[in-house]
Amino acid sequence: MNVTEANIEVIAVPLTDIEPNPDQPRKYFDETKLEELAAQFRSVGQLQPIVVRPAGDKLQIVMGERRWRAMHLVEGATTIEAKIVGSVDDEQAFVMGISENIGRADMTLMEEAQAYADLVGFGYQAERIAEMFGKTTDYVRWRMDLLNLTTDIAELVAEGKIKADFAWYLSKLTPANQKVAVTRYMKGDFRTETDASTFAQALRMKENQEGFFSEKELSEKEKEDKAKERKQAKGKVDQVERAGTLLEELAKLTPSELADLFQGEVGKHLDAVERVRRTAAEAVKKLRKAKAMSEAKQLTVRPELEVEPEAEGATGEVEPSEAEIAEAAAEEPLEAELEAAA
């Protein structure tokens, strides 16, 4: 029976007669949000009852622990409106608790991941869990991957200092490389979240020995050819920089000045610049990945590196666009994809 739809009488229950469920999937409650809810109670009263079930000589919360906590902040409050249900077992209570909290802004990524894993412990398959909460199967599995994070890094994720997409990439690394990537992240070494995720992906490739760098000894002829290729590439980059200077000059002109300058050929020049923009965007994406791969190759793993949870996360002034996020790894999930899938 769905207790949220059941015709059960709402009664006032003493706050002292109620205890929280120790298996409640959400462990963190924002004090500011609780005070805001308490202010609402003071102003308009309690709009929605909590749901409790008998547990020994107490009543245990099935749904509504946040409301119960907030009511404790209301001066003079001694009771809370509640529905008492008697036919809810531990598994049902746990599922109801997850249903109430999934999607709340203040439920941490790690709490969500653990909740799904606990349901697997009850015998649920990822497909069934996804169906229950309106997610995709991949979304549920990606979230559970976060449980592979080391304890200190999981704390940073729970505190919101590491975002979901980067956290997922970290979860695929060895503990030593997790710390390597996070240490750089916390120091602010990455310009964007995408750069951080790309670096973690490069570390994963290095771990898997996927051979994105040739390790064979080059012959003298091959070395000469390689040197020529590098020289030619540098020359091309120099030309790109000159083209960039020209585009900067164009960008300084107003639309009226451009229309007067190009007269009937504005569309033709617009198409040309648009082609350059698309090509440049593709080159930037590949160069970012190449940069991460180069850094990963040169990296010496230091397992003794310590992550300091009190440090601030790398935010940077430039936020990644949706296109940048998608490029971080074409075959791997990112937060934007997770939300879209949900």
Strand ranges, E, within the chain: 10-14, 18-19, 50-55, 58-63, 79-84
| Alpha-carbon gap, residue 93 to 211, rounded angstroms | 49
| Alpha-carbon gap, residue 31 to 77, rounded angstroms | 18
| Alpha-carbon gap, residue 150 to 172, rounded angstroms | 11
Instruction: At 77, list the tokens.
Output: 């409050």
224 among known catalytic residues? no
Residue 292 burial by CB count (10 A; 0-12/13-18/19+): exposed, middle or buried? buried
Q: Are strands 79-84 and 58-63 parallel, antiparallel or unpaired?
A: unpaired
Terminal Cα distance for the chain, rounded: 26
Q: What is the dihedral of CA 194, 199, 201, 202, to 10 degrees?
A: 140
Q: Are 28 and 158 in contact (CB under 8 A)?
A: yes
* Active-site residue (options: 31, 35, 65, 282): 65
Phi, psi of 39 (to 5 degrees): -65, -35
Active site residues: 65
